[in-house]
Amino acid sequence: MKKVIWVLIVVLFLGALDLLPFRSKELADLLPVKTVIITRSGAEYTVDVGAGVKAVGDTLSEALKRLQEQTSEDLFLPTAEQVVLTEPTDEAAEAVAEESAFRPAAGICRTPDPAPDPNALGRYLQTHPSDYTIVDLQAAIAEGREPEIPVILPVGGGYRFED
């Protein structure tokens, strides 16, 4: 019984000093993400989630980490339903396939548009989601096949998937 009391005292002490290895989050404070736009330019990755929230890093993981830091770690990437890659996509597609921050069932597509509007593109993708998922991308890469990532094109102020 004395051991249990000492453990509780230590946990309370560490909690008061904010030294516990886990943190509780208020669900209302989380910023859910619907659409993530990833651009690889030269040796840098830019990740844009809309509402003016974007970050740059030398790797996709670094850009995502900086994105989390900018939003006080309240950004919730596992809610992303669609990941959009801007051209060129080869190395970016491999980075997304290796990244654990996205849920495997998230749709993935690519666009030649260098700077799509994440909010407008997100609205389009809510009603016209990509059927090609991150799992499909991972399977293609693992099997040595060329990924068949669908292309989404800007058309007349909106977007449509290429036939």
- pTM value? 0.78
Grade residue 27 by pLDDT with cuts at 50, 70 and 90: very low
Question: Which tens digit of pLDDT belongs to each residue from 41-58?
Answer: 888 999 998 878 889 999
Question: Which tens digit of pLDDT belongs to each residue from 61-118?
Answer: 999 999 888 876 577 777 889 999 998 777 899 999 999 989 999 999 999 867 677 8
Strand partners, 38: 47, 85
Residue in 84, 95, 89 with CA at minimum distance from that of residue 61? 95
Strand partners, 152: 161
